[in-house]
Structure 1
């Protein structure tokens, strides 16, 4: 009898959660998709528990302060399951809605469905068999020896990933009547599938620019130290160039194996939680100086930006010239003046040329 009461109470809670979450998601999908919501498969709690062996911690392949990613298997298919940890419903439903909208793009992690029976919804995606780029891109050194948790990325893989993610961001900016700005472009939000294809994820803080407008304002500052656009920092104005700046920082890290702040010797900076209290320092005005000196002093200076563990060949080689062109593009993307930065369509074209060595 007691068990039946518990089961009845559980079923009522799930029914309530399903109704409330479903209503919120439906509203978000309608707003995001111009009144034509995209159908999304519904999963039960039991199905996702079976898929993850009751959310076995050993199946986690990536974590963030707001969510955990699990490897799972359902109906003979490998899947990735995103379990949100905080009650940030607007962000969660934005993530699901924009993911659904973008799932047709080959370089966006495809949303398969979600579970709405839990108090906090759970999302289901295609498999990201090779995990997060964050675990592969940065080359670290301990006691003088290079350490890699996983096999380091080859030079050509780095160029391919850069071009694939640039293409996904370009699509986000241009494919819809209202351009969408991602606002969280960084290695932790790029996954790799079983074939090494790069997949953009996490649209939690994505925002649309109204039709006919050049920007949108948002009092909520979103971003990560080293990737956030200084102009957005100062004004709260959001344009596509916010993503261009973040992509420039992303490209620098991808090509060099080091974070931008480390590249320029900036080690005394605040955490993401201290943005509002320390804006002046985090805007990093010095960021343009290295670009200027690289342009002025020639190829000998380029070498200082690249971790020695990433072998890019001898000066004058094809790979060396690809590196020079890639870093030059990254520096243009992180110019302080948004008007000087290229748009992502042009960035994608330039990366395609660099990858094919059409310089």
Structure 2
């Protein structure tokens, strides 16, 4: 990708934004990926506006707590592809660099089936816009609660898919990538039921040979943050493992960490000690398992215990690769 354009008279506003944003993106590509990424398309502002009908509210399919809005759009190309366009509504000081980090890491991992595939970006807005394959969020409301219609088997598969994506981030490259915001709102399902992890704006790298980096500005979501990261600013692989453990608990319960006492570590510990783990389970999910309840409850309990290991309540915290293997075993049992 090249962000240079020949000077031809007066520079227009879209051209100025293209060059400024492109320069920052080039820096992030070098910093994160040594400039090595999968090819993506650069779209014009007019193409984005046409695809989303000028960011029409009828095309809005989701938004998160950081003022990022997701629009359904249709590209005017040979395939007339349905896409998701990700746009930041408000402009902030670090917004462009974070979005460029998102573009950089997304383009690097977009060949893996368990990441939301980045098709391209547009640099002609004050904040760059991402264009991704179409997939729908697994959450259904402003509190980002899990869709209650998701069955137990679907939730288990979602967990396995996302564990694979995190294990890939942690092990596939010479430097370790830490997502830092594993949360239901960043998980999507495509039309084939494949779960995909997105949103890499808070992603950081741990240099080869190091086990952690330190950063005192906390990023992530309350209720999903590793206590050691919160208290010491240390970013390790356990930051993602902890968040993923909370994510597993949310899949089981549909409760909101940080707001529901039932997901507090002390309460979870008592449930295990008293053999009452079923109290944390989503009653709607339980109703739908029917005649297979006994066998499925055994799998749910194994899933629950694994989640507790991830958040440090049951022995040594596992690595994501081990978590992925254990989820595969649970799914097949």
Answer yes or no: same fold by TM over 0.5.
yes
TM-score by length of 2: 0.88
Say whether residues 1:180 and 2:174 are aligned partners: no
Q: Which residue is equivalent to 1:92?
A: 99
The equivalences for 1:123-202 within 5 A come to: 123-128=130-135, 131-135=136-140, 152-202=149-199
The equivalences for 1:1-359 within 5 A come to: 12-64=12-64, 65-74=66-75, 75=77, 76-85=80-89, 86-87=91-92, 88-128=95-135, 131-135=136-140, 152-265=149-262, 287=265, 289-298=266-275, 301-311=276-286, 312=289, 317-335=294-312, 340-357=316-333
In 2, the alpha carbon distance for the partners of 1:164 and 1:309 equals 23
Q: After superposition, give the CA deviation of every residue in 1:38-59 in whole Å (9 maximum; x if it has no partner).
A: 4331101111111111111111
Q: Is the 8 A contact 1:252 1:259 kept in 2?
A: no
Q: CA deviation at 1:24?
A: 1.1
Q: Is the 8 A contact 2:148 2:285 kept in 1?
A: no
Q: Which residue is equivalent to 1:277?
A: none
Q: After superposition, give the CA deviation of every residue in 1:192-234 in whole Å (9 maximum; x if it has no partner).
A: 1112211101100000001110100112111111101111000
**SS of equivalent to 2:137:** coil
Alignment root-mean-square deviation, CA? 2.5
Query: CA 1:59 to 1:156, structure 2 compared with 1: closer, same or farther past 3 Å?
Result: same
Q: After superposition, give the CA deviation of every residue in 1:155-204 in whole Å (9 maximum; x if it has no partner).
A: 11010001000110110111011000001000001011112211101100
- Structure 1 gaps of 5+ residues are 1-7, 141-147, 267-285
**SS of equivalent to 1:253:** helix
Q: CA deviation at 1:151?
A: 6.4
TM-score by length of 1: 0.82
In 2, the alpha carbon distance for the partners of 1:139 and 1:108 equals 19
**SS of equivalent to 2:208:** coil
Q: Is the 8 A contact 1:30 1:37 kept in 2?
A: no
- Structure 2 gaps of 5+ residues are 1-7
Query: CA 1:202 to 1:105, structure 2 compared with 1: closer, same or farther past 3 Å?
Result: same
In 1, the alpha carbon distance for the partners of 2:283 and 2:236 equals 36
Q: After superposition, give the CA deviation of every residue in 1:32-80 in whole Å (9 maximum; x if it has no partner).
A: 2224354331101111111111111111111023310000111211111
Query: CA 1:57 to 1:25, structure 2 compared with 1: closer, same or farther past 3 Å?
Result: same
Q: CA deviation at 1:102?
A: 1.0
Q: Which residue is equivalent to 1:280?
A: none
